[in-house]
C-alpha cells in the first residue's frame, strides 16, 4: 500500500580509521538487510571513518562523496532500494565535512546534507566545517528530512523542516552510551511535537575511549516505539504506516494552532 514504508536501520560497530573495512562491512550489512525486503535502509553517522580520527582526518575521508556514491549508490540501484547512507567524513574544497547522502532506488544521489551543529565537547568543530542548510527530500512519495546526531538537541532545526511538510525524520548518529537516555527522550520528543515518524540509527561498539550506545529505534507520531535495538551490532526493521499522520494532525492540530509571531527567539 502507498501509505506503508518498511525501514531497516543498520546499527553498525564502526572501526575507527579503518575505512576499507568499514565500507566492506557496511555493504555486507546492506545485503543482509535486504533479506527483510525494506523500502529504505539507514546507516549511522561517519560510518566510513568512525567518530573520529584526529590525526590526518582528511586522508581518511571520502572526496566529494565519490566512493560513497559509487559503492553505496551502486547497491541502491542493484537492489532497487532507497538508502539513507548515514554520514561520512568527506572532503569538499579542501575542507572536511560530516556529510550525509541519500540515494533513491535508481542509485541516484537525491540529497546531500552537511551537519549543521558540530559537537564541540569532543572537538568536532576544530576538525569539521559546519553546514549551513537543512535537508528535505522525497522517498517513495513521502516527505523526509535528515539530521545528524548533535543536531537533534536543536529543535529549531527540526521544526523548520516540519512546518514545511515532513512525514519522516531520519536521525543518523554516533551517540555515546553514557548519554543514551538523552537520545531516547529527544527522539520521542521530536516525533511527538512534530507529529511525524522519527527513525534513529545509532552506532555501537567502542572507538578510542568512547563506547557508543546503540539503542537505535523507530518512533511513530504518537510517541510509541515501533522497534528498538540493544547495544549490539544488529539490523532492526519496522513498517511505517503514514496513514496515522492525518489522524493525529486532525485530532491535535498543533500546526494549525501555532502562533509563530510569538516565537521570535532572535531577540
- The catalytic residue positions are 45, 115, 149
Q: Any idea of the CA torsion for 119, 122, 125, 127, to the nearest 10 degrees?
A: -130
The closest of 23, 5, 4, 2 to 14, measured between CA atoms, is 23
Query: What's the CA angle centered on 206, arms 59 and 220, to 5 degrees?
Result: 100
Question: Which three three-digit cell numbers place residue 91?
Answer: 572532503
The whole-angstrom distance between residue 161's C-alpha and the CA centroid of its chain comes to 14
Q: How far is CA 217 from the centre of its chain?
A: 11
Alpha-carbon distance of 135 to 144, in angstroms, equals 9
Paired sense of beta strands 95-103 and 4-11, if any:
unpaired
Q: What are the distances in angstroms from CA 234 to CA 12, 53, 64, 145, 197? A: 7, 24, 29, 24, 21
13, 48 Cβ separation under 8 angstroms: no
d(CA 69, CA 23): 12
Helix extents (H) in 129-242: 155-163, 180-194
Amino acid at each position: 500500500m502507498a501509505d506503508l514504508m518498511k525501514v531497516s536501520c543498520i546499527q553498525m560497530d564502526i572501526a575507527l580509521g579503518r575505512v576499507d573495512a568499514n565500507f566492506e562491512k557496511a555493504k555486507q550489512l546492506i545485503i543482509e538487510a535486504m533479506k527483510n525486503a525494506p523500502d529504505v535502509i539507514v546507516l549511522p553517522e561517519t560510518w566510513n571513518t568512525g567518530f573520529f580520527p584526529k590525526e590526518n582526518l582528511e586522508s581518511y575521508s571520502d572526496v566529494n562523496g565519490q566512493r560513497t556514491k559509487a559503492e553505496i549508490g551502486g547497491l541502491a540501484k542493484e537492489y532497487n532500494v532507497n538508502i539513507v547512507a548515514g554520514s561520512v567524513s568527506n572532503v569538499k574544497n579542501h575542507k572536511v565535512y560530516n556529510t550525509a547522502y541519500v540515494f533513491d532506488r535508481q542509485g541516484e544521489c537525491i540529497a546531500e546534507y552537511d551537519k549543521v551543529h558540530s559537537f564541540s565537547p569532543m572537538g568536532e568543530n576544530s576538525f569539521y566545517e559546519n553546514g549551513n542548510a537543512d535537508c528535505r527530500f522525497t522517498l517513495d512519495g513521502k516527505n523526509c528530512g535528515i539530521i545528524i546526531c548533535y543536531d537533534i538537541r536543536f529543535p529549531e532545526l527540526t521544526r523548520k523542516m516540519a512546518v514545511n511538510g515532513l512525514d519522516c525524520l531520519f536521525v543518523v548518529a554516533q551517540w555515546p552510551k553514557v548519554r543514551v537516555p538523552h537520545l531516547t527522550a529527544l527522539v520521542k520528543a521530536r516525533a511527538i511535537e512534530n507529529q511525524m515518524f522519527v527513525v534513529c540509527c545509532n552506532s555501537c561498539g567502542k572507538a578510542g575511549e568512547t563506547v557508543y550506545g546503540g539503542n537505535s529505534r523507530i518512533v511513530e507520531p504518537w510517541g510509541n516505539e515501533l522497534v528498538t535495538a540493544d547495544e549490539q551490532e544488529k539490523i532492526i526493521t519496522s513498517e511505517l504506516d503514514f496513514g496515522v499522520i492525518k489522524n493525529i494532525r486532525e485530532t491535535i492540530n498543533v500546526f494549525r494552532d501555532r502562533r509563530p509571531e510569538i516565537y521570535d527567539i532572535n531577540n
